[in-house]
Structure 1
Amino acid sequence: VRLDRFATLEVERGYQPTGDALSLALTGFAALVVLGAAGIATGLAAADSRQDQATLAAVGAPPRIRRSMAGLQCTLIALLGALLGAVNGFVPAVGLLKSRASGFGAKPALITAPWGELLLIVLVLPVVAGLLAALLTRSRIPLGRRLS
Protein backbone atom coordinates (compact mmCIF):
# COMPACT_ATOMS: atom_id res chain seq x y z
CA VAL A 1 0.00 0.00 0.00
CA ARG A 2 1.43 3.30 -1.01
CA LEU A 3 0.30 6.49 0.74
CA ASP A 4 0.68 10.00 -0.45
CA ARG A 5 3.45 11.80 1.37
CA PHE A 6 1.06 14.64 2.20
CA ALA A 7 -1.60 12.37 3.66
CA THR A 8 -2.39 12.73 7.34
CA LEU A 9 -4.31 10.59 9.73
CA GLU A 10 -6.22 12.09 12.64
CA VAL A 11 -8.15 10.31 15.36
CA GLU A 12 -10.82 12.29 17.12
CA ARG A 13 -11.38 11.15 20.69
CA GLY A 14 -14.59 13.12 21.26
CA TYR A 15 -15.39 15.17 24.31
CA GLN A 16 -12.93 14.57 27.13
CA PRO A 17 -14.28 16.06 30.36
CA THR A 18 -11.82 17.70 32.67
CA GLY A 19 -12.56 17.78 36.37
CA ASP A 20 -11.21 21.20 37.18
CA ALA A 21 -11.57 23.29 40.28
CA LEU A 22 -13.71 25.91 38.54
CA SER A 23 -16.53 23.50 37.70
CA LEU A 24 -16.36 22.05 41.21
CA ALA A 25 -16.58 25.54 42.72
CA LEU A 26 -19.51 26.49 40.47
CA THR A 27 -21.34 23.27 41.36
CA GLY A 28 -20.75 23.91 45.05
CA PHE A 29 -21.99 27.47 44.76
CA ALA A 30 -25.11 26.33 42.86
CA ALA A 31 -25.75 23.72 45.57
CA LEU A 32 -25.41 26.37 48.27
CA VAL A 33 -27.85 28.68 46.46
CA VAL A 34 -30.39 25.88 45.91
CA LEU A 35 -30.23 24.69 49.51
CA GLY A 36 -30.35 28.19 50.96
CA ALA A 37 -33.22 29.41 48.79
CA ALA A 38 -35.20 26.21 49.32
CA GLY A 39 -34.68 26.40 53.09
CA ILE A 40 -35.81 30.02 53.27
CA ALA A 41 -38.84 29.41 51.06
CA THR A 42 -39.79 26.31 53.06
CA GLY A 43 -39.55 28.24 56.32
CA LEU A 44 -41.79 30.97 54.94
CA ALA A 45 -44.28 28.39 53.63
CA ALA A 46 -44.32 26.65 57.03
CA ALA A 47 -44.96 29.94 58.81
CA ASP A 48 -47.75 30.74 56.38
CA SER A 49 -49.44 27.35 56.89
CA ARG A 50 -49.26 27.36 60.70
CA GLN A 51 -53.04 27.54 61.05
CA ASP A 52 -53.50 24.62 58.66
CA GLN A 53 -50.99 22.57 60.64
CA ALA A 54 -52.75 23.43 63.89
CA THR A 55 -56.03 22.28 62.36
CA LEU A 56 -54.40 19.01 61.26
CA ALA A 57 -53.05 18.48 64.78
CA ALA A 58 -56.45 19.27 66.30
CA VAL A 59 -58.24 16.66 64.21
CA GLY A 60 -55.71 14.00 65.15
CA ALA A 61 -53.24 13.88 62.26
CA PRO A 62 -50.02 12.11 63.21
CA PRO A 63 -46.97 14.31 63.94
CA ARG A 64 -45.05 12.95 60.94
CA ILE A 65 -47.48 14.78 58.64
CA ARG A 66 -45.79 18.10 59.49
CA ARG A 67 -42.38 16.67 58.63
CA SER A 68 -43.53 15.11 55.39
CA MET A 69 -45.31 18.31 54.34
CA ALA A 70 -42.15 20.35 54.95
CA GLY A 71 -40.01 17.81 53.09
CA LEU A 72 -42.30 17.66 50.08
CA GLN A 73 -42.66 21.46 49.95
CA CYS A 74 -38.90 21.87 50.08
CA THR A 75 -38.35 19.22 47.40
CA LEU A 76 -40.83 20.89 45.06
CA ILE A 77 -39.44 24.37 45.67
CA ALA A 78 -35.84 23.21 45.14
CA LEU A 79 -36.75 21.16 42.05
CA LEU A 80 -38.54 24.05 40.37
CA GLY A 81 -35.81 26.51 41.30
CA ALA A 82 -32.97 24.29 40.11
CA LEU A 83 -34.77 23.38 36.89
CA LEU A 84 -35.60 26.99 36.05
CA GLY A 85 -32.07 28.09 36.97
CA ALA A 86 -30.52 25.42 34.74
CA VAL A 87 -32.74 26.36 31.79
CA ASN A 88 -32.10 30.08 32.32
CA GLY A 89 -28.37 29.42 32.27
CA PHE A 90 -28.34 26.89 29.43
CA VAL A 91 -30.38 28.82 26.88
CA PRO A 92 -28.24 32.00 26.89
CA ALA A 93 -25.05 29.91 26.79
CA VAL A 94 -26.24 28.06 23.67
CA GLY A 95 -27.28 31.37 22.09
CA LEU A 96 -23.88 32.87 22.82
CA LEU A 97 -22.05 29.89 21.34
CA LYS A 98 -24.26 29.93 18.24
CA SER A 99 -23.76 33.66 17.71
CA ARG A 100 -19.97 33.39 17.97
CA ALA A 101 -19.87 30.60 15.39
CA SER A 102 -22.22 32.20 12.87
CA GLY A 103 -19.69 34.05 10.74
CA PHE A 104 -18.87 33.19 7.13
CA GLY A 105 -16.70 30.09 6.98
CA ALA A 106 -16.89 29.55 10.73
CA LYS A 107 -16.97 26.04 12.10
CA PRO A 108 -20.24 25.00 13.75
CA ALA A 109 -20.25 25.44 17.50
CA LEU A 110 -19.68 22.32 19.53
CA ILE A 111 -22.16 22.46 22.37
CA THR A 112 -21.20 20.35 25.34
CA ALA A 113 -22.68 20.47 28.79
CA PRO A 114 -21.54 19.07 32.13
CA TRP A 115 -24.43 16.61 32.30
CA GLY A 116 -23.26 15.01 35.51
CA GLU A 117 -23.18 18.29 37.40
CA LEU A 118 -26.51 19.38 35.91
CA LEU A 119 -28.19 16.13 36.93
CA LEU A 120 -26.69 16.47 40.39
CA ILE A 121 -28.04 19.99 40.81
CA VAL A 122 -31.45 19.45 39.18
CA LEU A 123 -32.38 15.98 40.47
CA VAL A 124 -30.27 14.91 43.45
CA LEU A 125 -30.00 18.23 45.26
CA PRO A 126 -33.77 18.83 45.60
CA VAL A 127 -34.17 15.37 47.14
CA VAL A 128 -31.37 16.12 49.61
CA ALA A 129 -32.99 19.48 50.43
CA GLY A 130 -36.33 17.78 51.06
CA LEU A 131 -34.76 15.16 53.30
CA LEU A 132 -32.95 17.87 55.26
CA ALA A 133 -36.18 19.83 55.65
CA ALA A 134 -38.01 16.72 56.84
CA LEU A 135 -35.25 15.93 59.33
CA LEU A 136 -34.94 19.46 60.70
CA THR A 137 -38.66 20.20 61.06
CA ARG A 138 -40.21 19.74 64.50
CA SER A 139 -42.93 17.12 64.59
CA ARG A 140 -45.20 18.80 67.09
CA ILE A 141 -46.32 22.39 67.18
CA PRO A 142 -47.65 24.20 70.23
CA LEU A 143 -51.37 24.67 69.89
CA GLY A 144 -52.47 28.23 70.44
CA ARG A 145 -55.78 29.65 71.50
CA ARG A 146 -58.36 30.53 68.92
CA LEU A 147 -59.13 34.23 68.80
CA SER A 148 -62.60 33.99 67.30
Structure 2
Amino acid sequence: MTLTKLQKKFAEGIALGMKQGQAARYAGYSEKSADTQAYNNMKNVEILAFADELIEAQKSMLKRRFSGLASIAVDKTIDILQDVDASPQARLNAAKMILDYAGMEEPKQLNVTADVNQSNPFEGLTTDELRKLIDDG
Protein backbone atom coordinates (compact mmCIF):
# COMPACT_ATOMS: atom_id res chain seq x y z
CA MET A 1 0.00 0.00 0.00
CA THR A 2 1.28 3.45 -0.88
CA LEU A 3 0.96 6.10 1.81
CA THR A 4 -1.09 9.19 1.09
CA LYS A 5 0.38 12.67 1.38
CA LEU A 6 -1.47 13.15 4.68
CA GLN A 7 -0.11 9.87 6.07
CA LYS A 8 3.44 10.78 5.06
CA LYS A 9 3.07 14.23 6.62
CA PHE A 10 1.65 12.59 9.77
CA ALA A 11 4.69 10.30 9.95
CA GLU A 12 6.91 13.35 9.51
CA GLY A 13 5.19 15.00 12.48
CA ILE A 14 5.73 11.89 14.60
CA ALA A 15 9.40 11.79 13.54
CA LEU A 16 9.72 15.44 14.60
CA GLY A 17 8.55 14.44 18.08
CA MET A 18 4.99 15.74 17.96
CA LYS A 19 2.21 14.10 19.92
CA GLN A 20 -0.21 12.07 17.82
CA GLY A 21 -2.98 14.69 17.65
CA GLN A 22 -0.45 17.43 16.89
CA ALA A 23 1.04 15.35 14.09
CA ALA A 24 -2.41 14.80 12.58
CA ARG A 25 -3.14 18.55 12.62
CA TYR A 26 0.35 19.22 11.21
CA ALA A 27 -0.41 16.76 8.41
CA GLY A 28 -3.56 18.65 7.52
CA TYR A 29 -6.31 16.50 8.96
CA SER A 30 -9.35 18.54 10.03
CA GLU A 31 -9.62 19.62 13.64
CA LYS A 32 -12.73 17.47 13.94
CA SER A 33 -11.10 14.23 12.73
CA ALA A 34 -7.47 14.76 13.75
CA ASP A 35 -7.52 12.70 16.95
CA THR A 36 -9.36 9.80 15.32
CA GLN A 37 -7.05 9.86 12.31
CA ALA A 38 -4.03 9.96 14.63
CA TYR A 39 -5.32 6.92 16.53
CA ASN A 40 -5.88 5.00 13.29
CA ASN A 41 -2.54 6.07 11.81
CA MET A 42 -0.68 4.84 14.89
CA LYS A 43 -2.03 1.35 14.20
CA ASN A 44 -0.83 1.42 10.58
CA VAL A 45 2.52 -0.42 10.43
CA GLU A 46 3.45 1.22 7.12
CA ILE A 47 3.04 4.70 8.57
CA LEU A 48 5.05 3.72 11.64
CA ALA A 49 7.77 2.18 9.46
CA PHE A 50 7.94 5.39 7.42
CA ALA A 51 8.21 7.44 10.63
CA ASP A 52 11.04 5.12 11.77
CA GLU A 53 12.83 5.65 8.43
CA LEU A 54 12.56 9.42 8.87
CA ILE A 55 13.89 9.20 12.43
CA GLU A 56 16.84 7.06 11.30
CA ALA A 57 17.58 9.52 8.50
CA GLN A 58 17.57 12.38 11.03
CA LYS A 59 19.93 10.46 13.33
CA SER A 60 22.26 9.69 10.44
CA MET A 61 22.28 13.34 9.33
CA LEU A 62 23.04 14.54 12.86
CA LYS A 63 25.77 11.94 13.25
CA ARG A 64 27.45 13.14 10.05
CA ARG A 65 26.98 16.77 11.03
CA PHE A 66 28.55 16.38 14.46
CA SER A 67 31.15 13.69 13.77
CA GLY A 68 33.87 16.28 13.16
CA LEU A 69 33.03 18.04 16.40
CA ALA A 70 33.40 14.89 18.48
CA SER A 71 37.20 14.92 18.26
CA ILE A 72 37.24 18.61 19.20
CA ALA A 73 35.02 17.87 22.22
CA VAL A 74 37.33 15.06 23.34
CA ASP A 75 40.38 17.34 22.97
CA LYS A 76 38.68 20.09 25.03
CA THR A 77 37.73 17.56 27.70
CA ILE A 78 41.35 16.40 27.91
CA ASP A 79 42.45 20.04 28.17
CA ILE A 80 40.14 20.52 31.16
CA LEU A 81 41.44 17.36 32.78
CA GLN A 82 45.04 18.55 32.45
CA ASP A 83 44.37 22.19 33.41
CA VAL A 84 45.78 22.67 36.93
CA ASP A 85 43.79 25.92 37.25
CA ALA A 86 40.46 24.18 36.58
CA SER A 87 38.31 23.39 39.60
CA PRO A 88 38.66 19.92 41.05
CA GLN A 89 35.00 19.23 40.20
CA ALA A 90 35.53 20.24 36.55
CA ARG A 91 38.60 18.00 36.32
CA LEU A 92 36.73 15.10 37.94
CA ASN A 93 33.82 15.54 35.52
CA ALA A 94 36.25 15.61 32.59
CA ALA A 95 37.90 12.40 33.81
CA LYS A 96 34.50 10.69 34.16
CA MET A 97 33.50 11.79 30.65
CA ILE A 98 36.73 10.45 29.17
CA LEU A 99 36.32 7.13 30.98
CA ASP A 100 32.69 6.89 29.89
CA TYR A 101 33.67 7.61 26.30
CA ALA A 102 36.36 4.91 26.54
CA GLY A 103 33.76 2.41 27.77
CA MET A 104 35.06 2.17 31.32
CA GLU A 105 32.60 1.69 34.16
CA GLU A 106 32.59 3.07 37.66
CA PRO A 107 33.52 0.47 40.26
CA LYS A 108 30.45 -1.23 41.62
CA GLN A 109 29.85 -0.87 45.33
CA LEU A 110 29.56 -4.21 47.07
CA ASN A 111 27.70 -4.71 50.31
CA VAL A 112 28.72 -7.90 52.06
CA THR A 113 27.19 -9.14 55.26
CA ALA A 114 28.17 -12.26 57.12
CA ASP A 115 27.76 -13.90 60.49
CA VAL A 116 31.11 -14.93 61.86
CA ASN A 117 31.18 -17.23 64.82
CA GLN A 118 34.65 -17.85 66.07
CA SER A 119 35.62 -19.03 69.54
CA ASN A 120 38.29 -17.12 71.44
CA PRO A 121 40.95 -19.54 72.71
CA PHE A 122 42.04 -17.00 75.34
CA GLU A 123 38.59 -16.40 76.72
CA GLY A 124 38.43 -17.07 80.41
CA LEU A 125 42.17 -16.49 81.06
CA THR A 126 43.11 -13.99 83.71
CA THR A 127 45.40 -11.04 83.05
CA ASP A 128 48.25 -12.81 84.83
CA GLU A 129 47.78 -15.94 82.73
CA LEU A 130 47.78 -13.85 79.53
CA ARG A 131 50.99 -12.06 80.61
CA LYS A 132 52.65 -15.40 81.30
CA LEU A 133 51.72 -16.60 77.79
CA ILE A 134 53.22 -13.45 76.28
CA ASP A 135 56.40 -13.73 78.31
CA ASP A 136 56.83 -17.40 77.45
CA GLY A 137 56.13 -16.43 73.81
Q: Normalising by structure 1, what TM-score?
A: 0.31
Q: Which has the higher contact order (CA 8 A, sep 6+)?
A: 1
Larger radius of gyration: 2
Q: Normalising by structure 2, what TM-score?
A: 0.33
